[in-house]
Structures are given as C-alpha cells and as structure tokens.
Chains A and B, each alone.
Chain A
Amino acid sequence: MLIAWYVLTTATQIIAPTRFPAPREVWDALRQIALTGYADARLHGHILHSVKLVLMGFAVAVATGVPLGLAMGWSRRIEALANPAFLLIRPIPPLAWIPLAIVWLGLGDAAKVLVIWFAAFVPSVINSYAGVRAIEPHMLEAARMLGIGRWTLVREVLVPGAAPMIFTGLRLSMQACWTTLVAGELIGAAAGLGRVLSQGALDIFPAMILVGMVGVAFAGGVMTWALGWIELRAMPWRR
C-alpha cells in the first residue's frame, strides 16, 4: 500500500499532487501543524478541543438519556408518557440538528455541545430501554420477593442487568457524537479537527486535509478504545 502510494504520487506522478498528496508532503504538513501550528492552533490543541467538546456533549447525553431509557424500560406508564415525543424526534438524524443549533446558539462551542447531546441522546435512551426489557422477569420477581427497596432495586438489579446493552448504546452514541462534531466543525468553528479540514479545503492543501482525516480517525479510535476499556472495568463479571 505504502509503496503503491509512493509510486503513484511521487515516482510516476500518475496522480497529480493537487488531487492527492505525496507521502513527503503529508510528512511536511504533519510537521508544520505539530510544530508551528495551522488554522490558529497546533495539532494537539485542535485534537484536545474536539475531544473536549465530544466528552461534554456525550456526558450530558448519557446523564439524561440513560436514566430516561431505564425509567421507560422499568415503568410502562413512563414509557407511554414519553414515547410519543421520543418517536417524533427519533427519525431526525443528528446532523440535521446542526442548522437549528446554529440558529439558536451561533457557531460557538455551545451549539456543538447541543448537537452532540442530541446525537448521543437517542442511542442512549433506546439501548438502556432495551437493556431493562431484556432482564429476565424472574430476576425482578426474585428481587421483589426479597423485599428490597426501590433504589436498591435500581442500583443492584436494573443497572447491572441492563449494563451490556447500555454500553452497546454508549458505543453507538460515541460514534454518532464524533461524526456530528466533525460535521459541525466543518460548517464553522474557531478550532478543532473539523476546522483543520475546512481550512485545508479552503487553501486547497490536500496534504493538510489528509493529516486532518488521520487525526479524526486517530482520536475517534482512541475514544472508542477507551470506552471499551471502561466497559471491561465496569463489568468485571463479564470477563
């Protein structure tokens, strides 16, 4: 692969450098952004900015979505009450919230956190709900027979029982968050990996675009991996 890349772009120039960068240019672009900076910040600054926003939106979504999903799974009444509004919101893809967030909050960080929240909210709710529903009824009955209190039930039975599904939801949420943030930053941002991409597109700087894409893949991969690590720690009984 690497050899083919070198041959096509550098040795033979079958692919024009304005279309796809040569390895050498990518290395230079990487050095430039890492050492002197590009689009008003250095590489680690852009990555940290993006990751920070994703984690903020993600945290808010988990804090609101998981309890709602658990409650909807637990009580048929809460489900009946919340479901119609939820069903109306659910088919709207996360990216479609971006223009609304911009109208409401402008191009700043607040709009991005709002959009990320919406992006991660739906999978968090659905999977927590499905997780509670997947708990075997006799577990709940046994717990009730033992006469444990409401909060103990939630803490000791519902959350652990639904945990595998909740984490599946969190992984989906994380991916949705990341895609949405990159889209939001492409549309307009002061810093972040999406800003690197859009600035690279404006300057017609293919090498920098490629560096930005690698950054997106790298940061997304690290966050997914970190979530998997937390999942293993949170559910020791699954190992």
Chain B
Amino acid sequence: MSLRLLSLIGLVAFFGLWTLIALSGLVQPRFLPTPLAVARQFVELIEKPFVGYTLQVHLLSSLGRFAMGFGLAVAVGVPLGLLMGWFRRLDAIVTPLFDALRFVAPIAWVPFAALWFGTGIGGPVLIIFTGAFPPCVINAYRGAKFVEPRFIEAARMLGVGHVRMVTEVLLPASVPSIVAGLRISAGLGWQSLIGAELIVASSGIGYLMVKGQSNISTAIVMSGMIAIGIVGVAIDVALRALQARIERHRQ
C-alpha cells in the first residue's frame, strides 16, 4: 500500500471519527460540532461581526499588537545582545538579571502589564515583548560571541572604534544567528499574544475565543484556533523565506 494512500486514510479517519462522535449523540453538538459545522461557523465569522467585529478585523488588531511587541523586542533585544557580545562589562551586569527573569513565564507578567499599561494595547504588547525578547537577545549575543576572531583582529588592526566594530563587524557576521532567533521569537511572541488576549483584551482573536467560550460555542472557539494556527504558520513561512533569502545572498 502506498504511503500517500495511508496518509489519506489517516486524514479521513481523523475527520471521520470526529464526525461520527459528533453525530452519534454521545456529546451535545454545542460541545463537539461536526467539522462541517465548524467550517460553516468560520465562514459566518468572516461575514458577520461577532462581539463587535468580523474575524478579519479581530485578527488585524491582534496582528497590530503582535507587530508592535515583536518590533519592540527586536529593536531592543538585538542591539542589546550585540553589545553584550562586545562589551564584557555589560555582559557581566545584564546576564545574571536576564537569567533570573527568563525563568518567569511571559504570561506571569499579565497582572503587572495590566496594572502598568491597561488592557487596551499597552498590556498585551508588553506580554508579547516579554515572550519575544529573550530569543532576540540570546541569538544576537551568540552571533556576536562566535564571530571569527580573525575578523575582529583585522578590524582592530585597521583601528576600528567600538561603534563601528559593533555595527560593521559584529552585526553582519551574526545575521544568520539573529534571523534564526527571530523565528523562535516570533513563535513565542504569537503564543504570548494569544495568552494575553485570553486574559486582558477587549478585541482580538483571543478575545473572540473567550467570548465564544462564555457562550459555550465550541464552533466559535475552534474557528479561533484554526485562525490562530493559520496566522502562526504564515508568520513562520514569511520569516523562513527571509532566512532563505539572506542565506542565498551571503553565498
């Protein structure tokens, strides 16, 4: 039997079993709708607004927060990581603090985020930032630490100062490591966003799911999960394309 056929069987079995359980009457449809009902709900959410907005608009407001938190994490984290890789003293000051903070799950920042920045945009953005920040720093730091010593020596011989050393030697050399970090960071940031929106937000995809949950509508919750999955994959594909392009460029 060919492997492709087996894959097809696996897929059919997954949806078949799901449909069978849903139709069997063992569980109420509002707890387990059929796949078809979920698809219908998904389309309906796109066409008709739910808790104020349509699905696309909820997604857009989530993506806006994501872009801000992620952008901030990159803008602060990458330079910090590079500088830590160059200045030993900065490394010695920041690393213990950073290691201590890293054990705090991003989601545990939610109460402080709400207290400091409210539940509109600021709070969720802080959560995304705390999720996306560590991989940016770590990968930029590693990239800067493992630059080939002969480059640094050559630059030193030419009398390059601290600033140019970081921007013109360390930064270009650590780009692959940084981009790899961006992928991890985007994944974690997107996850943290969902968590933040489940707890503090008045719009966005996580908020839509919470409302679906309080209406006991499994179909809405599942539609939200599908949308989150699709966007998460799209973000990763975009960053992977960036990674591939940079690698090609360097050769």
Residues of A bordering B, CB below 8 Å: 1, 19, 76-77, 80-85, 88, 91-100, 102-104, 178-179, 182-183, 186-187, 194, 197-198, 200-201, 204, 206, 209, 212-213, 216-218, 220-221, 224
Contact = CB atoms under 8 A, between A and B. Distances in A.
Contact of B105 (A98, A178, A198): A178
Contact of A104 (B31, B109, B110): B31
Contact of B115 (A92, A194, A209): A209
B7 A94 contact: no
B229 interface: yes
Interface of B: 1, 3-4, 6-11, 13-14, 31, 97, 100-101, 103-112, 114-116, 190-191, 194-195, 198-199, 206, 209-210, 212-213, 216-218, 221-222, 224-226, 228-230, 232-233
A88 B109 CA distance: 30
A99 B210 CA distance: 6
A212 B115 CA distance: 15
Question: DSSP class of A's interface residues: helix, strand, loop or mixed?
Answer: helix
Nearest to B99: A221
Contact of A91 (B115, B195, B232): B232
A97 B9 contact: no
24 contacts: A19-B115, A83-B7, A91-B233, A93-B228, A95-B198, A96-B194, A96-B224, A98-B198, A99-B198, A99-B209, A99-B212, A99-B221, A103-B218, A103-B221, A179-B191, A182-B108, A183-B105, A186-B107, A186-B199, A197-B108, A200-B111, A201-B110, A216-B104, A217-B100
B195 A85 contact: no
Given A85-B11, A103-B216, A200-B111, A96 B228 contact: yes
A40 B233 CA distance: 41
Contact of A93 (B97, B105, B115, B232): B232
B81 to A, nearest CB: 20
List 9 A-B pairs, minimum CB-CB distance, nearest first. Answer: A201-B111, A99-B213, A217-B103, A80-B6, A91-B229, A85-B14, A81-B10, A80-B3, A84-B11
A25 to B, nearest CB: 14
Contacts of A183: 105, 107, 195, 198-199
Contact of B116 (A19, A91, A187, A217): A19
Nearest to B103: A217
A220 B111 CA distance: 18
A43 to B, nearest CB: 15
A1 B97 contact: yes
Given A103-B218, A209-B111, 6 more contacts: A81-B10, A92-B229, A94-B191, A186-B107, A200-B111, A220-B103
Nearest to A209: B111
A218 B230 CA distance: 34
B198 A81 contact: no
A100 B221 contact: yes
Contacts of A103: 31, 213, 216-218, 221
B197 to A, nearest CB: 9
Contacts of B230: 91
B105 A81 contact: no
Nearest to A79: B3
A212 B112 CA distance: 11
A98 B1 CA distance: 39
B105 A179 contact: yes
A221 B100 CA distance: 9
A93 B7 contact: no
